[in-house]
Amino acid sequence: MKNAGDQRHKAKKPQASAPASPCVGVCQLDEQQVCIGCGRHVVEITAAGVEAARARSLKLQGS
Protein backbone atom coordinates (compact mmCIF):
# COMPACT_ATOMS: atom_id res chain seq x y z
CA MET A 1 0.00 0.00 0.00
CA LYS A 2 1.40 3.40 -1.03
CA ASN A 3 0.85 6.47 1.03
CA ALA A 4 0.40 10.00 -0.30
CA GLY A 5 3.96 10.93 0.65
CA ASP A 6 5.36 8.54 -1.96
CA GLN A 7 4.07 10.79 -4.75
CA ARG A 8 6.48 13.58 -3.78
CA HIS A 9 9.55 11.50 -4.53
CA LYS A 10 8.88 10.71 -8.17
CA ALA A 11 11.84 11.34 -10.44
CA LYS A 12 11.72 14.69 -12.19
CA LYS A 13 12.54 15.21 -15.84
CA PRO A 14 16.23 15.86 -16.33
CA GLN A 15 16.85 19.46 -17.31
CA ALA A 16 19.36 20.53 -19.90
CA SER A 17 22.36 21.87 -18.09
CA ALA A 18 24.47 24.79 -19.12
CA PRO A 19 27.87 24.06 -20.58
CA ALA A 20 30.56 23.83 -17.96
CA SER A 21 32.49 27.05 -17.43
CA PRO A 22 36.23 26.97 -18.12
CA CYS A 23 36.71 29.21 -15.06
CA VAL A 24 39.12 27.75 -12.52
CA GLY A 25 38.74 30.54 -9.96
CA VAL A 26 42.04 32.27 -10.76
CA CYS A 27 40.64 35.44 -12.27
CA GLN A 28 43.49 37.76 -13.22
CA LEU A 29 44.08 39.42 -16.56
CA ASP A 30 47.49 39.69 -18.18
CA GLU A 31 48.74 42.57 -20.36
CA GLN A 32 46.70 41.36 -23.36
CA GLN A 33 43.48 41.18 -21.26
CA VAL A 34 43.59 37.36 -21.19
CA CYS A 35 42.74 35.58 -17.95
CA ILE A 36 45.73 33.68 -16.57
CA GLY A 37 43.36 31.11 -15.06
CA CYS A 38 41.11 30.04 -17.92
CA GLY A 39 42.86 31.57 -20.93
CA ARG A 40 39.80 33.50 -22.15
CA HIS A 41 39.96 37.09 -23.35
CA VAL A 42 37.99 39.62 -21.28
CA VAL A 43 35.52 40.08 -24.17
CA GLU A 44 34.74 36.34 -24.16
CA ILE A 45 34.35 36.30 -20.37
CA THR A 46 31.97 39.26 -20.49
CA ALA A 47 29.92 37.77 -23.34
CA ALA A 48 29.55 34.50 -21.41
CA GLY A 49 28.24 36.40 -18.39
CA VAL A 50 25.71 38.29 -20.49
CA GLU A 51 24.51 35.07 -22.14
CA ALA A 52 24.16 33.32 -18.77
CA ALA A 53 22.07 36.22 -17.44
CA ARG A 54 19.88 36.11 -20.55
CA ALA A 55 19.33 32.36 -20.13
CA ARG A 56 18.38 32.79 -16.47
CA SER A 57 15.93 35.54 -17.39
CA LEU A 58 14.27 33.39 -20.06
CA LYS A 59 14.02 30.48 -17.65
CA LEU A 60 12.33 32.68 -15.05
CA GLN A 61 9.88 33.91 -17.69
CA GLY A 62 9.08 30.32 -18.64
CA SER A 63 10.23 30.63 -22.25
pLDDT digits (tens, 9 = 90+) for 4-48: 555 555 555 555 565 678 899 999 999 999 999 999 999 999 998
pLDDT of residue 33: 97
For residue 19, tell me if it sits in a domain: no
Domain that holds residue 31: 26-63
CA distance 34 to 1: 61
For residue 1, tell me if it sits in a domain: no
For residue 17, tell me if it sits in a domain: no
Close Cβ partners of 10 (under 8 Å, ≥ 6 residues apart) = none
* Least confident window among 10-14, 51-55, 57-61: 10-14
Average pLDDT over residues 56-62: 87
Structural domain total, the chain: 1
List C-alpha distances in Å: 58 to 14, 15, 31, 44: 18, 14, 36, 21
For residue 61, tell me if it sits in a domain: yes
For residue 21, tell me if it sits in a domain: no
